[in-house]
A = this chain, B = another copy of it.
Amino acid sequence: MIALLLALSMQAAAPAAPVTVQPADPLPADWVTIPDDEVLVMTLAGGGTVTVRLAAGYAPAHVGNIRRLAAARWWDAGGSVYRVQDNYVAQWGDATEKKPLPEGVVANPPAEYEWTGGAAPVAKLTRRDPYAEWAGYSADGWPLAGSGTATWLPHCYGMVGVARDLAPSTGSGGDLYTAIGHAPRALDRNIAVVGRVIEGIERLSVLPRGTGDLGFYKTEGERTAIVSVRLASDLPAAERPHYQYRATANPRFTAWIATRENRTPPFFVVPAGGADICNAMPPVRRMPTP
């Protein structure tokens, strides 16, 4: 199997243990534990789980709603994955559109699609992005894109957004989707991005594509039921999964970006000299067991 393994080995998740420290290697302290109340665990019928890191600092009103919906167990009774469109999104929530929102959930929060001012990106990619003047990273491990004045979270594979109706609707957060194909970046600045799937996206990406318009399932029986959605902080301590993001404001991360922009021999013949942000997503991992 050697040849086939080599054939496309450049995207290996786990390189062989390096003999010497490389400039792009993180220090142990570069891995920062994500707070339990930023980790949302969705369990699907059949037992699979999908874990989302919430962008609490970037879309606080929508994330506040999501936390309240999880606390109220709003998705647990009747929630489902009801739409899967190939090369686009998997979407879940209340397919009936009739379920009342719990106390404290704002039906139509402010449009948290982009922001002005605030912290600058701590690292940037080399080339211009087709959807932005620049693309880069926040200090706390989020991908960013921006214009001269605005900054936003880009719609990369696995990023989670809030489904909404026509403006002025911004979506409550009860219906969410994640990108399961080429990044649908035209949605940037038009929808609230509230998180990123950090584990288990394959539970969604392998689901049968819906055959109705826009990938909606035509029948209720095709949907995948949601068993529960919980913040990790609402789980018993022993059951909480722990994740870490890689800190970006350091020269090791800058070196890592360079490795994404110019892949190396022996496999690569021509390095690209650049990358798009969705092919250079900031690393996240499970916290190692001590």
Contacts and interface: CB of A to CB of B under 8 A. Distances in A.
Interface stretch (A36-44, A60-68, A80-88, A230-238): A80-88
B275 A97 contact: no
Contacts of A129: 130
A171 interface: yes
Interface residues of A, number: 78
A3 to B, nearest CB: 4
A130 B127 contact: yes
B186 A10 contact: yes
A243 interface: no
A278 interface: yes
A267 B205 contact: no
A92 to B, nearest CB: 11
Contact of A275 (B130, B156, B263): B130
A250 interface: no
A128 B133 CA distance: 11
Nearest to A89: B8
Contacts of A185: 272, 275-276, 279
A252 interface: no
Interface in A264-288: 266-270, 272, 274-276, 278-279
B201 A87 contact: yes
Contact of A190 (B167, B213, B214, B268): B268
A91 B9 CA distance: 13
A214 to B, nearest CB: 6
A166 interface: yes
Given A205-B87, A206-B208, A130 B128 contact: yes
Interface in A141-176: 156-158, 163-167, 169, 171, 175
11 contacts: A7-B175, A8-B85, A87-B158, A87-B201, A113-B270, A130-B276, A182-B183, A182-B279, A188-B272, A189-B269, A189-B272
